[in-house]
Amino acid sequence: MNILLTGGAGYIGSHTAVALVEAGFRPIVLDNFSNSHPAVMERLARITGTTIPLERGDVLDTPWVESVLRQHRPVGVVHFAADKAVGESVAQPLKYFHHNIGGAVSLLRAMEATASEADMPAPTLVFSSSATVYGDPASVPITEDFPRSHTNPYGHTKLVVEDMLTALNAAQPNWRIATLRYFNPVGAHPSGLIGEDPADIPNNLMPYVAQVAIGRHEALSVFGDDYPTPDGTGVRDYIHVQDLAAGHVAALQTLLNKGKSFTVNLGTGRGHSVLEVVKAFERASGRPVPYRIAPRRPGDVAQCWADPTRAEALLGWKAQRTLDEMCADAWRWQQGNPNGYRP
Ligand code: UFG
């Protein structure tokens, strides 16, 4: 029951690797460590008590990906590997089109080339998409049949890859494809051994808040307090990364058992404002999180949360963990690893 995880050393990939081992699968990590750290592999071994095989290289290298597929014959592939910083994608669009769309094309062509060979399992893919494909939603909660749009090159790449998968599946109905639209993943494994490790100053709220609580930054800038939300700050559907990891296991099991492709939201179905996150983090850490109100961040939407009904019906999966648990686990990781995976 080998499962290949492209970008498996990253934030969501590493938590999914643990969940897969616990569910009886054998994950194999494929990663070039462009936005992750090799030290994660030892942490995974400590948590799982098993050595997870590593294939170090680039998903853009199609012949090499083919050789990895031939060697491991995975019953499923989870494609996490991609760049994900919205602001960077505006400044460097070609990097995003190259890595995110080119990377998906390369992986899919490698899967296609090897699928017909003897002893290769039916092509089965889980794709990391994002709530970003809903653009600025007309209302909340968001169901999977809402219109899709994009407001930046990063979001555009997720949309294009979704469309590519639809076209591929129409041409080749034997492919089994799960498209998972993540809302806002936060938190860390309860061991505190793996977590989110932003290379630079974090773009996202929760890692920034954690770095303020530990004293690396003076204060959080709250991007706008004049949104049409209860306290004026942006509202998002924060989902514990452990729940998200469980969602990937459920998606793989559903693809393998039912053999049918699907698209689902992975969110909790409830939203929290920036100020609610700040208060929850102060409770979890026992530290103050000073903040100042700053102008709105260009491209931000007022509110975004999922209708997770379809995921529950199809996968038998539901997010369990509360915002307080998300903050407590993010804080444990931050305290134990003030510099992330770097010594
Ligand atoms: N925020 C702040 N200060 C910060 C960082 C964020 O006030 O320093 C606010 C934002 O304005 C927003 C909320 O906190 O209201 C959440 O912001 P994040 O950057 O953590 O998350 P986003 O919802 O903006 O972005 C996430 C993913 C993207 C994805 C997008 C839409 O990071 O990859 O959801 O799905 F595109």
Q: For 241-289, what is each residue's pLDDT tens digit? A: 999 999 999 999 999 999 999 999 999 999 999 999 999 999 999 999 9
Q: Measured from the CB, is residue 189 less than 6 Å from ligand 1?
A: no
Return the closest-CA partner of residue 56 out of 43, 48, 68: 68
Provide the whole-model pTM.
0.98
Instruction: Please pick, among 96, 134, 154, 227, the residue that the annotation labels catalytic.
Output: 154
Tens of pLDDT, residue by residue over 189-226, are 999 999 999 988 999 999 999 999 999 999 999 999 99
Residue 70 has pLDDT above 90, yes or no: yes
Ligand 1 centroid vs 111 CA: distance in angstroms? Answer: 33
Tens of pLDDT, residue by residue over 3-44, are 999 999 999 999 999 999 999 999 999 999 999 999 999 999
- Identify the domain containing residue 169 by its residue range: 2-188+237-270+308-320
Q: Measured from the CB, is residue 19 less than 6 Å from ligand 1?
A: no
Task: Return the structure tokens found at 86.
Answer: 């919205």
Spatial separation of the C-alpha atoms in residues 342 and 37, rounded to whole Å: 8
Task: Return the structure tokens found at 78.
Answer: 């989870």
pLDDT at site 151: 92
187: left (phi over 0), alpha (psi -120 to 50) or beta: left
pLDDT at site 219: 98
Q: Measured from the CB, is residue 274 less than 6 Å from ligand 1?
A: yes
CATH number of 130's domain? 3.40.50.720
Is 182 noted as a catalytic residue in this protein? no
CA of 235, closest atom in ligand 1: 15
- Reported as a pLDDT band with limits 50, 70 and 90, residue 343 is confident
Q: Measured from the CB, is residue 236 less than 6 Å from ligand 1?
A: yes
Domain presence at residue 226:
no
Task: Return the structure tokens found at 155.
Answer: 């979001």
Cβ–Cβ < 8 Å for 23, 96: no
- Reported as a pLDDT band with limits 50, 70 and 90, residue 84 is very high
pLDDT at site 199: 86
Q: Which of 154, 211, 223 to mutate to test the pocket of ligand 1 (most atoms within 8 A of CB)?
A: 223
Mean pLDDT of all residues in 154-163: 98
Pairing of strands 235-236, 272-273: antiparallel
Ligand 1 centroid vs 234 CA: distance in angstroms? Answer: 8
CA of 202, closest atom in ligand 1: 8
Cβ–Cβ < 8 Å for 242, 317: no
Domain presence at residue 300:
no
Cβ–Cβ < 8 Å for 65, 131: no
Q: Which of 184, 235, 238, 327 to mutate to test the pocket of ligand 1 (most atoms within 8 A of CB)?
A: 184
Residue 303 has pLDDT above 90, yes or no: yes
Residues present in the chain in total: 343
Q: Measured from the CB, is residue 223 less than 6 Å from ligand 1?
A: yes
Task: Return the structure tokens found at 120.
Answer: 């290769």
Domain presence at residue 221:
no
Domain presence at residue 312:
yes
Q: Would you say the C-alpha torsion 196, 202, 208, 212 has a positive or negative sign?
A: positive
Domain presence at residue 199:
no
Q: Measured from the CB, is residue 253 less than 6 Å from ligand 1?
A: no
What residues form DSSP beta bridges with 55?
30
Domain presence at residue 232:
no
Ligand 1 centroid vs 66 CA: distance in angstroms? Answer: 36
Task: Return the structure tokens found at 178.
Answer: 């799960």
Domain presence at residue 84:
yes
Cβ–Cβ < 8 Å for 29, 58: no
Residue given tokens 């969501």 in the structure block = 12
- Reported as a pLDDT band with limits 50, 70 and 90, residue 104 is very high
Residue 72 has pLDDT above 90, yes or no: yes
What residues form DSSP beta bridges with 78?
5, 126
R_g over Cα of the chain: 19
CA atoms within 13 A on the CB side of 124: 23
Instruction: Tell me the one-letter amino acid at 209.
Output: V
Domain presence at residue 178:
yes
Degrees to nearest 5, angle at CA 305 with 295 and 78: 110
pLDDT at site 89: 96
Encode the chain in three state secondary structure: CEEEEECCCCHHHHHHHHHHHHCCCEEEEEECCCCCCCCHHHHHHHHHCCCCCEEECCCCCHHHHHHHHHHHCCCEEEECCCCCCHHHHHHCHHHHHHHHHHHHHHHHHHHHHHHCCCCCCCCEEEEEEEHHHECCCCCCCECCCCCCECCCHHHHHHHHHHHHHHHHHHHCCCCEEEEEEECEEECCCCCCCCCCCCCCCCCCHHHHHHHHHCCCCCCEEEECCCCCCCCCCCEECEEEHHHHHHHHHHHHHHHHHHCCCEEEEECCCCCEEHHHHHHHHHHHHCCCCCEEEECCCCCCCCEECECCHHHHHHHCCCCCCCHHHHHHHHHHHHHHCCCCCCC
Count the domains in the chain.
Answer: 1
Cβ–Cβ < 8 Å for 276, 205: no
Q: Measured from the CB, is residue 234 less than 6 Å from ligand 1?
A: yes
Residue 293 has pLDDT above 90, yes or no: yes
Ligand 1 centroid vs 204 CA: distance in angstroms? Answer: 5
pLDDT at site 276: 98
Residue 140 has pLDDT above 90, yes or no: yes
Cβ–Cβ < 8 Å for 205, 199: no
